[in-house]
Structure 1
């Protein structure tokens, strides 16, 4: 179904460009048929290549990546881990489960209940690996969608260039049509390059950066939960947070360090 929708949209876009490309006025850098061709044709090609669910996941991944702040996420994660460890050590499983369910990171929400139910560290690490694989796969699919857009946008620009040159040759004897035809030929290439290098590729890099930070946080969570399960202090995890630029020495840090067994450690 998605392939039919994508091909139908592409056909309509090309038909509009062929019929209106030479008829539209040329007002400098703005050429409406070229904008419509480069705005819709790459999206239609992508719709033909990916299922709607994958496109929706890519859109959500872009929104999350744009709203994501690594420093804020690390600070929230450290606070959630210390609170969770404090409740586990003080034998308050209901409160610990509530903190885990409200955690900002998916891995902590998935692994926290395993610690409370006293799963073995091997099971926790195995579940963490599976969860991390699923998370990274979803982000890579979103990155691949944007990579596809960044590749087809210049190709669509070349298609518009060819259409413009064909229109130019067809109307060579009509001087008033040379401007719009040349505009279609040149501006399609310009718009395609701009979309690929100024929109789609930067968004793909934003998702990749978000994925890198998410993987780091997932490994920090796994290490911290293993230490909590083994009833050991979180000193090494605290130092990893410090190396990543997150300072755990806020206003509530002393109480958290006492609760998690890290008080007095360098």
Structure 2
């Protein structure tokens, strides 16, 4: 679980809502149903136009990935690969099956299963690279949806502002009409800015970082599994995989050794 995402997101809302609460009228002054309909309803509608329903169904799961997904670190993955390499070198590739149930990552587990099944190193690499490519493509669609939500929401805030101004200018002699128009004009802009800058844009950025980390791990796993299949020495595999790490992380791996 990524506590930075949860704490940062919660803190942003607490600060903004707290500032609203201590001002004149409290938080309820900022609750305006017509503005919500324009911003949130309009954003959902155009997202349905832009993407097929099959891509939209898992969108909440995609967003939760940024806060709740737990991934292994490169150093942890190197340790696991070296452990499997030692076992394969001592007892043979079929002995890896006894450790397969301890593997939590389906991608790494599939690679080890391919090795156990006796596929060649080239075949294992091809299958795993294709799997990684399709996985990144699927996740990329989710990131694109979140990114578009961050773009559409301020746009509908601006649309709501224009609607409110038109309502206000219809009859400047009616104080109630002026108040309704101004509320719609200002609050739609506020809702659009809050939704985009406090939720969707940060989440899209976090998903991008998660994707880059995941790609690095996938490449590391592919090289490690292929090296195991090829029967390379565990220490050589470890040195090769350290090339995926930054200098401080390489020093950490050496210290653990």
The aligned residue for residue 163 of structure 1 is 163
Whether the 8 Å contact between 1:128 and 1:222 is mirrored in structure 2 is: yes
The aligned residue for residue 132 of structure 1 is 132
Q: How does 1:26-37 map to 2 (within 5 A)?
A: 28-37=29-38
1:106 partnered with 2:109: no
* Structure 2 CA distance for partners of 1:235 and 1:82, relative to 1, 3 Å: closer
Distance 1:74 1:125 in 2: 19
The aligned residue for residue 78 of structure 1 is 78
* Structure 2 CA distance for partners of 1:237 and 1:60, relative to 1, 3 Å: farther
Distance 1:230 1:196 in 2: 49
Distance 1:29 1:57 in 2: 31
Q: How does 1:117-128 map to 2 (within 5 A)?
A: 117-128=117-128
TM-fit CA distance, 1:34:
1.5
Distance 1:60 1:102 in 2: 25
Moved more, 218-227 or 236-245: 236-245
The aligned residue for residue 69 of structure 2 is 68
* Structure 2 CA distance for partners of 1:64 and 1:95, relative to 1, 3 Å: farther
1:229 partnered with 2:232: no
The aligned residue for residue 198 of structure 1 is 198
1:90 partnered with 2:120: no
Give the TM-score of the pair, scaled to structure 2.
Answer: 0.76
Distance 1:106 1:173 in 2: 67
Moved more, 74-83 or 205-214: 74-83
1:149 partnered with 2:159: no
TM-fit CA distance, 1:101:
5.1
1:58 partnered with 2:59: yes
TM-fit CA distance, 1:186:
1.7
Residues 132-157 of structure 1: per-residue CA shift (max 9 Å, x gap): 11011011101110121112112211
The ranges of structure 1 where at least 4 consecutive aligned residues each deviate by more than 6 angstroms after the TM superposition are: none
Residues 211-253 of structure 1: per-residue CA shift (max 9 Å, x gap): 1011100111111112111211223245246537374468xx6
Structure with higher helix content: 2
Residues 96-139 of structure 1: per-residue CA shift (max 9 Å, x gap): 23534542333212211111223222111111220111011011
Q: The residue matched to 1:90 in structure 2 has which SS?
A: helix
Aligned residues: 226
Residues 155-195 of structure 1: per-residue CA shift (max 9 Å, x gap): 21122112211211224221123122101012212221222
Whether the 8 Å contact between 1:38 and 1:153 is mirrored in structure 2 is: yes
Unaligned runs of 5+ in 2: 1-26
Q: Aligned-residue CA RMSD in angstroms?
A: 2.7
